[in-house]
Amino acid sequence: MELRQLHYFVTVVEDGGFTRAAARLHLSQPGLSAQIRRLERELGQPLLDRSGRAVTPTEVGRAVLPYARAALAAVDAVRQTVDEYTGLLRGRVTLGLVSGATGHAFDVASFLADFHDAHPAVEISLVEDTSERMQAALMAGELDLALLGPTEETPPPGVSYRTVIDEPLAVAVAPASRLLARASRTGVPLAELRDQPLISLPRGTGVRAVLERACAQAGFRPQVAFEAAAPHVLAQLAARGLGVAVLPAGDGLPAPGGGLRTLPIVEPELRCRVVLACRAAGPASPAARVLLGLLREALPKAPGRP
């Protein structure tokens, strides 16, 4: 019995078939099938049921599966221990990033390129999604770290936040918008958005959660006419007069005279955050722990925020 055969067996079970598993393992499908057959002959029992559309473990396979995973985990732990003594970092890190999370204040691409240069044996996977889904993935262990806009003020149990951006929400409108006539010197009162067609980030984002919570407290439901995941698209829609875009004030909106007028939302002032989120106990892998430490050094910390 070889460790690679156990790895092949676990991968076929996880992917539900030989085709996807072979692509993931960079093997030919016949070669992968032959290795599994060899393992089954050595054990004297079939481990996989190939009769259905999806390949599933047999009763013996289900019994063997946790031991196979434990053996592979033990080997990984041995490698990690040796790597820590030799100073070599390897493994995989999955980082979640909400669209526009750091604006122009932080160059994510350059940061990850520098990390890769320093630790070429670490594989980095970058995931973009809504904050709500990324937080769920973080709690499920599918993400190691995430830069996200929290939908609640406090983190859920088992998750830690470090605020890196804390800024007011603003509206962006075309110069001909009637909303400007009702705006005050300090900004646009939230109540003035009651009957306005709004252009917003999708549900599941921190900005949308702040907007909907504030409107509910003011006694009305926001009328969202357009949604887009990219802040610059919201600004473009607003510039064409399709509604009032609600965006973070520091999101790189065009300056006055560039087809948009921007004003903060007031009465009350609305604020949104971007946080560096991880599991409260810290990432499981050494590579993710190193990346977390470097991110904490590189990212600004919002004053007065945890």
More confident residue, 77 or 9: 9
pLDDT tens digits along 65-91: 999 999 998 888 787 777 665 555 778
- Name the CATH superfamily housing domain 91-164+273-298: Periplasmic binding protein-like II (3.40.190.10)
Residue spans per domain, the chain: 3-86, 91-164+273-298, 167-271
Which bin fits 217, alpha (ψ -120 to 50), beta or left (φ > 0)? alpha
Specify the pLDDT at position 244: 94
Q: What is the 3-state secondary structure (H, E, C) of 44-75?
A: CCCCEECCCCCCEECHHHHHHHHHHHHHHHHH
User: At 104, is the pLDDT very low, low, confident or very high (cuts 50, 70, 90)?
Assistant: low
The per-residue pLDDT for range 259-305, each reduced to its tens digit, is 788 899 999 999 999 999 999 988 888 889 989 999 999 887 777 67
Dihedral sign, CA of 262, 264, 266, 270? positive
Residue 144 has pLDDT above 70, yes or no: yes
258 compared with 3, residue with greater pLDDT: 3
Band of the pLDDT at 210, cuts 50, 70, 90?
very high
**Contact indicator for 96, 130 with CB cutoff of 8 Å:** no
Q: What is the largest CA-CA distance in the chain?
A: 81
Give me the count of residues in the chain. 306
Q: Report the C-alpha dihedral over residues 169, 151, 298, 79, rounded to 10 degrees.
A: -160
Q: Return the pLDDT at 193.
A: 94
Q: Which CATH superfamily, name and number, covers 167-271?
A: Periplasmic binding protein-like II (3.40.190.10)
pLDDT for res 83: 67
Q: How confident is the model at residue 103 (pLDDT cuts 50, 70, 90)?
A: low
Domains 91-164+273-298 and 167-271 share a fold: yes
Q: Which residues contact 8 (CB under 8 A, 6 or more apart)?
A: 21, 25, 27, 32, 35, 36, 39
Q: What is the pTM of this model?
A: 0.67
Q: Taking residues 232-249, what's their average pLDDT?
A: 90
> What digits encode the pLDDT tens for the residues 32-68?
999 999 999 999 999 999 988 889 999 999 999 999 9
- In CATH, which of 1.10.10.10, 3.30.930.10, 3.90.550.10, 3.40.980.10 is domain 3-86? 1.10.10.10
The helix or strand, by DSSP H or E, that contains position 171, with its residue range, turns out to be strand 159-173
